[in-house]
Structure 1
Amino acid sequence: MTGATTNQLISVSPEELKFQFEPEKQSCCDLKVTNNTDQYVAFKVKTTSPKKYFVRPNTGIVHPGDSCFIRVTLQAQKDYPPDMQCKDKFLLQSTIVNSDADDLPPDTFNRDSGRNVEECKLRVVYASPHSSLGHSENAFSQSSDVNSSQALQRARDERDAVLRQTQQLQQELEMLKRRRNRRSDAGFSVKFALVVGLIGLMAGFLFKLLMSSPSTE
């Protein structure tokens, strides 16, 4: 979860402390604390397991409308916790102060002194780096599948385009053949008519010659 927990005085983000847990290795998580008021707000961080965590700064003052970051470091642990479950809790207290003095009075967060002290509780979550790696590999695999599908679709589209062009060329070729055949037939008919006409003229001319020739009897 990456949301923010909002009180009247401050906002804290994220709303839980998440650590990548590996034995014999430290892990860090940063908290962003934002002052929602126009006054100086002091804060203090507490935890149920102070020996396991290193918090800097664990106390401080945030200027009006300003923000600061708190780094929480999980010290190196020998073994994985059972089922990767963690029962540790953090408590962030906040209250309005008069100035941004470096040293806070001991009773700054003491409600018995009549101060209005707000509290924000944060839980701790452990995550295995292998699960993050698996998630990354899964995301990469999904991305590869998407890219492969897109490439396959492009190849199919190109194949269909080539087939359409081939069919179009075949149709144009058939049309050209039919046109050529029609032109050849027309040429043959004209030539045939000319030949027939010439033969007719020659036959008529010969017939006239025969009819006009004097008889020998």
Structure 2
Amino acid sequence: MARLEQVLVLEPQNELRFRGPFTDVVTSTLKLTNPSDRNVCFKVKTTAPRRYCVRPNSGVISSGSSVNVSVMLQPFEYDPNDKSRHKFMVQSILAPDNMEDMEAVWREARPEELMDSKLRCAFEMPLESDPISDPASQRWVFSSSMDDEERKKILEEFKRLQAEVQRLENDNRQIRENNGLRRRQPASSSQAVASLQGDSMTGRILCIVFFIIGVFVGKMVL
């Protein structure tokens, strides 16, 4: 008897891609959506269980809801000539209305009630010229969702803040120089307090400006 067609919608549909370097855990996300009017039980299986950690690897998806499954590839020595033969299978079954034990549902399921989808695994290394592989370059990549006018405004504000930081640094340098001259001469206690307050205020302003710059730069990152 023919199997039922998969009721869940998978994103991606056919292939899980993992991008190196593979010296650390690399995660790919599989989104499972249930467009039906029934709750659906699911399981995620792999042909290489020692190489992957899947969370969650089973569960129930309510009608009209979605679940993001994190597929974590464990570190390994990557060989570009070695084609990945790893595969994943998403198995699902319609949940009964009075379900109390999900494991019992799977044990008692008939083969014709099961639905499944298979996905390949693909490994790739970033190119040396790819800005994504260079964290320093990535900071200056604009989000594709930003229009030209918004980019222009952010750049203008960023330049203004840079100029403000430079001005504050110059003021701070001048204050330090003046403090050096004052140390050569007897100074009253009120003058010393004013000098310390000036340094403290300048430091606080610099911290605030740098924080604002960080916020604007964060808007430009993908």
TM-score (norm 1): 0.53
Task: Name the counterpart of 2:114.
Answer: 117
Give yes or no for contact 1:84–1:126 (8 Å, CA) kept in 2. Answer: no
Give yes or no for contact 1:43–1:95 (8 Å, CA) kept in 2. Answer: yes
Task: Name the counterpart of 2:205.
Answer: none
Matched, 1:10 2:13: no
Task: Name the counterpart of 1:87.
Answer: 85
Task: Name the counterpart of 1:98.
Answer: 96
CA offset at residue 101 of structure 1? 5.5
Task: Name the counterpart of 1:55.
Answer: 54
Letter of the aligned partner of 1:63 in structure 2?
A: S
User: Relative to structure 1, is the Cα distance of residues 40 and 71 closer, same or farther in structure 2, using a 3 angstrom cutoff?
Assistant: same
User: Relative to structure 1, is the Cα distance of residues 102 and 61 closer, same or farther in structure 2, using a 3 angstrom cutoff?
Assistant: farther
Give yes or no for contact 2:6–2:92 (8 Å, CA) kept in 1. Answer: no
Give yes or no for contact 1:35–1:65 (8 Å, CA) kept in 2. Answer: yes
Q: How does 1:138-157 map to 2 (within 5 A)?
A: none
The secondary structure found in structure 2 opposite 1:108 is helix
* CA deviation profile, 1:2-33 (whole Å, cap 9, x unmatched): xxxxx541100012111112242110011110
Q: How does 1:17-96 map to 2 (within 5 A)?
A: 17-77=16-76, 79-83=77-81, 85-96=83-94
* CA deviation profile, 1:104-147 (whole Å, cap 9, x unmatched): 12451765x35511110000010102x2x52448xx9xx9xxxx
Aligned equivalents of 1:109 and 1:17: distance in 2?
28
* CA deviation profile, 1:39-67 (whole Å, cap 9, x unmatched): 01010000000000000110011001111
* CA deviation profile, 1:78-99 (whole Å, cap 9, x unmatched): x113425211000000110124
The secondary structure found in structure 2 opposite 1:39 is coil
The secondary structure found in structure 1 opposite 2:21 is coil
How many percent of aligned residue pairs carry the same amino acid?
Answer: 31
Deviating more after overlay: 96-105 vs 37-46: 96-105
Give yes or no for contact 2:6–2:117 (8 Å, CA) kept in 1. Answer: no
User: Relative to structure 1, is the Cα distance of residues 62 and 100 closer, same or farther in structure 2, using a 3 angstrom cutoff?
Assistant: farther
User: Relative to structure 1, is the Cα distance of residues 89 and 100 closer, same or farther in structure 2, using a 3 angstrom cutoff?
Assistant: farther
Count residues in correspondence. Answer: 129
Task: Name the counterpart of 2:124.
Answer: 127
Deviating more after overlay: 30-39 vs 80-89: 80-89
Aligned equivalents of 1:20 and 1:99: distance in 2?
41
User: Relative to structure 1, is the Cα distance of residues 105 and 127 closer, same or farther in structure 2, using a 3 angstrom cutoff?
Assistant: same
Give yes or no for contact 1:55–1:71 (8 Å, CA) kept in 2. Answer: yes
Structure with larger Rg: 1
Letter of the aligned partner of 2:31 in structure 1?
A: K
User: Relative to structure 1, is the Cα distance of residues 25 and 114 closer, same or farther in structure 2, using a 3 angstrom cutoff?
Assistant: closer
The secondary structure found in structure 2 opposite 1:76 is coil
Q: Work out which structure has the larger RCO, using CA pairs closer than 8 Å and 6 or more positions apart in sequence.
A: 2
Please list every run of 5 or more consecutive structure 1 residues that lacks an aligned counterpart in the other structure: 1-6, 144-217
CA offset at residue 36 of structure 1? 2.0
